[in-house]
Amino acid sequence: MARFSVIGIGNVLEGDDAIGPTVVRVFEARYAAGDDVAVIDGGTPGLDLTAYMMGLSGLVVVDAIKTRTGAAGQVQVFDKKGILNRGPIVAMSPHEPGLRESILHAEFQGVAPPQISLVGVVAGSIEFGCQLTPEVRGAVDGAVEAVRAALAGMGANPVRREPPLQPDLWWEKPQPT
């Protein structure tokens, strides 16, 4: 059973929202994370996210973020307290419980990971489409390193692959005309 998980959140069909899945796939291609680390392209799981964090000692989430001040492509790392800095929402649909609500559900059950880190990348465009904007594409390397640092800080030990593997970013494959 994995003690740590890296979960990339986001919709690969929605422009910069693909940053979460992209970063975890690039991370997996560059690093052998170790047997005790599960690397998951989580899509947009809503409340199902709770199930993926149950009983872990450490969780790293990669997601697109919005902020009032940050520029597109900026990488910001939050700890558990920073993620939970405001109340949950009244959800209309199963998507709306987000990271914050999923953690709170896990807390209530007593199964939330003690260490949680959010590697957030400020999104530029989230229009329909399968490509990142140049600003956010430029943030991938930094975000991958932030994931590695977060895992190392929790006690996991990802090892760099030499040479790296090719990441499977299948959604970026161009459409035949």
Partner 1 sequence: MSQRITIDPITRIEGHLRIDLEVDAGRVARAWSSGTMWRGIETILKGRDPRDAWVFTQRICGVCTTVHAIASVRSVENALGLEVPLNAQLIRNIIVSAHAQHDHIVHFYHLSALDWVDVVAALKADPKAAAALAAGISDWPGNSEKALAAVKEKLAGFVKAGQLGPFQNGYWGHPAMRLPPEVNLLAVAHYLQALEIQRKANQVVALLGSKTPNIQNLAVGGVANAINLDSPAALNMEKLYKVKDILSEVQAFITQVYLPDVAAVAGFYPEWFKHGAGVTNYLAVPDLPTDAKATRFDLPGGVIVAGAAKPEVISGWGKDQPFIQKVTEGVAHSYYQGAEALHPWQGETNPAFTGEWKQETPAPQKYSWVKAPRLDGKPMQVGPLAQVLVGYLTGHELTVKYVKAAVDTVKAIHKIDVTPAMLHSTLGRHAARAIRCAMMGELSLKHWGLLVENIGKGDTAIFNDPMATLKPGTTYTGVGLHEAPRGTLSHWCVIESDGKSMKLKNYQAVVPSTWNAGPRDEKEQAGPYEAALVGNPVADPKLPLEALRTIHSFDPCLACAIHTHDADGQEVGQVKVSG
Query: Pattern of binders to partner 1 over 124-153, x per CB under 8 A?
Result: --x-xxx-----------------------
Smallest separation (angstroms) from partner 1 to the CB of 35:
18
- Per the CB < 8 A criterion, the answer to whether 25 and 169 are in contact is yes
Residues 26-65 that bind partner 1 (CB under 8 A): 41-48, 50-51, 54, 63-65
| Smallest gap from residue 138 Cβ to partner 1 (A) | 19
Opening angle at CA 155, ends 153 and 158, nearest 5: 85
Among positions 37, 59, 60, 83, the unique one binding partner 1 when judged by CB under 8 A: 83
23 binds partner 1 (CB under 8 A): no
Please return the burial class of 176, using the count of CB atoms within 10 Å of its CB with bins 0-12, 13-18 and 19+: exposed
* # residues near partner 1 by CB under 8 A: 63
Nearest to 6, CA basis, from 57, 41, 31: 41
Cis peptide before 174 (omega within 30 of 0): no
CB 152 to partner 1: min, Å: 22
Return the sign of the alpha-carbon dihedral for residues 60, 65, 68, 74: positive
Nearer to partner 1, 163 or 176 (CB): 176
Q: Which of 32, 79, 108, 138 contacts partner 1 by CB under 8 A?
A: 108
